[in-house]
Amino acid sequence: MSPKDKKELERLKTLNVRAGVPKDLGVAIESFMQQAIIVGEYGLDHMPQEYMENLLRTLAKYPEHSMLFMEMVEILERDNIIES
């Protein structure tokens, strides 16, 4: 892992879900972030898809977060993780 990646991984560990986020969405975000940290720390190729699916399904329930949902879908399409 490069020093830059290591620094970013340490930064991720300090992030918190902001107050006011619905509880189920907060749990989905925290679970996703924890898995992202695990992937980085252990140099894994990917995280189990269930974490991304859970995050997207939960985000989809909240129209006020539609921009984040769409940005995540765009990233997944761009990286050929999903097809449209």
Token pair 């761009």: residue: 78
26 in a domain, yes or no? yes
Q: What percent of the chain has pLDDT over 70?
A: 99
* pLDDT at residue number 67: 92
For the four alpha carbons of 7, 16, 72 and 80, in that order, the dihedral sign comes to positive
Number of domains in the chain: 1
24 in a domain, yes or no? yes
* pTM (global) more than 0.75: yes
62 in a domain, yes or no? yes
39 in a domain, yes or no? yes
Question: What sections of the chain are H helices per DSSP?
Answer: 3-12, 23-42, 49-60, 66-78
Both structure tokens of 24: 């189920």
83 in a domain, yes or no? no
* pLDDT at residue number 82: 78
42 in a domain, yes or no? yes
* pLDDT at residue number 84: 66
* pLDDT at residue number 81: 80
Q: Which domain holds residue 24?
A: 3-78
Whole-number Å distance between alpha carbons of 32 and 39? 11
Residue 62 in this model has a pLDDT that exceeds 70? yes
